[in-house]
A = this chain, B = another copy of it.
Amino acid sequence: MNLIQATIITIGDELLIGQVIDTNSAFIAQALFKIGIPVNSRIAVGDNKKDIINALDTASQKSKIIILTGGLGPTADDITKPLLNEYFGGKMVVHQPSLDHITYIFETIHKRPMIERNRKQAEVPDVCEVLFNEKGTAPGMLFKKEGVYYFSLPGVPHEMRWLTENQVIPVIQKSFTTNFIAHKTLLTAGIGESFLAEHIAHFEKALPANIKLAYLPNIGMVRLRLTGSGQDEKVLAKEVNAQFEALKEAVKEYLVTDADETMEIVVANLLKQRKQTVSTAESCTGGYIGHLLSKNAGSSQFYTGGIISYDNRIKTEFLDVPTEILLTVGAVSKEAVEQMALAVRKKMNTDYAISVSGIMGPSGQTDEKPLGMVWVGVASKEKVVSKVFYLRFDRLRNIEVTANQAINLLRLLIINKI
């Protein structure tokens, strides 16, 4: 069977000098993967006619679906639209629904007069089908040539996302039949990648040829993904499910979740099911744990609030950490984090609390306390538990790993594993 494949082309000089990180490709790849379209490659090129045309030519040799993002803005460095117009031999015409929408955005939302530059965004090549962009001023476009579908989307992430979900994916599903893909993901914590690989080597060796195992290590945890492909949807689902059950059994002592979700979502769900709440007392993570707990919808059901006790004075005044502890064992200590967790839980009247205090770098270490040393505490009505970690990343990653380890420690407390 000849598989329909896709190529993603992202356009923009800023991608080639590394001034922005490309999150669009990952989003599009995920959306295509879910409907069984494999992406064979992703190509990033500059705002440069020759390179964009080269990328289009190369991509069309192996892909029936080509998705371009970027270069549709109102400024002079945005060359994608005139280039596609020329490439597909069209001429520019005004697309009235887009012009109405742009006018609406400026007059009703921005409450600013529209300028010629904005009006130009409603012009499209007459050889494309317009993909109406509800979220912004640059219309999406679909060109078809010799059986290949070329989708051009703006690079602004929330516009690109809306267009992908509401315009691109429905068109692809209507126009192409594909092989079925099934994937199942689980998350482990507490074991490194190579030990995990050793631990499940027997499982991996016994996998059938149409099912692949991937290791995705991240922030102190390892995600495992099974991906299967086949021509019969039901048979495939059964095969993948059976292997996934075997994998879950093989990693059961490290298993955090058998869904493709983050640690903070796992803990959020545990708390919501139990109708319980949590508060935070953060020193070295400076609010990042609060952010992780509150960044998903519905977090007000379980996250009450927190104290960011960045300065030691705040630890004493708001969390009753005795000056004596700070002067003897110091702020990065079992005693300090346990007191912080107990105090914030009591003061905010929550079921649980999380606390952290550590040395995130690049300086601040002492003879006894190395860079990357961090104490994490969790408290419930019944007990307080703390754990020390020695991290060896840069500051930002140390903050991320600490926050994830702290939330994992809360998970273990909630399910009575510590």
Which chain A residues have a beta carbon within 8 Å of chain B's beta carbons?
13-23, 25-33, 38-47, 51, 55, 58, 73-77, 109-110, 112, 115, 117-118, 137, 156-158, 161, 183, 185, 192-195, 197-198, 204, 212-218, 223, 225, 227, 280, 282, 285-291, 293-297, 299-300, 303-311, 313-314, 318, 348-349, 361-363, 392-397, 399
Contacts and interface: CB of A to CB of B under 8 A. Distances in A.
- Copy number in this complex? 2
Given A51-B41, A74-B193, A286-B299, A18 B29 contact: yes
A44 B29 CA distance: 11
Given A40-B16, A288-B287, A305-B311, A393 B158 contact: yes
Given A15-B29, A291-B291, A393-B158, A214 B77 contact: yes
A144 B73 CA distance: 41
7 contacts: A17-B33, A18-B33, A287-B294, A296-B395, A300-B310, A305-B307, A307-B307
Given A109-B392, A112-B195, A214-B13, A363 B314 contact: no
A118 B311 contact: no
Contacts of A313: 304, 349
Nearest to A109: B392
A216 B294 contact: no
A45 to B, nearest CB: 5
Contact of A75 (B215, B218, B285): B215
A47 B227 CA distance: 13
Nearest to A350: B311
B293 A304 contact: no
A191 B46 CA distance: 25
A197 B117 contact: yes
Determine which residue in A13, A17, A393, A396 has the highest number of CB atoms from chain B within 10 A of its CB, and name it: A17
A109 B185 CA distance: 30
A13 to B, nearest CB: 6
Given A306-B287, A310-B305, A20 B26 contact: yes
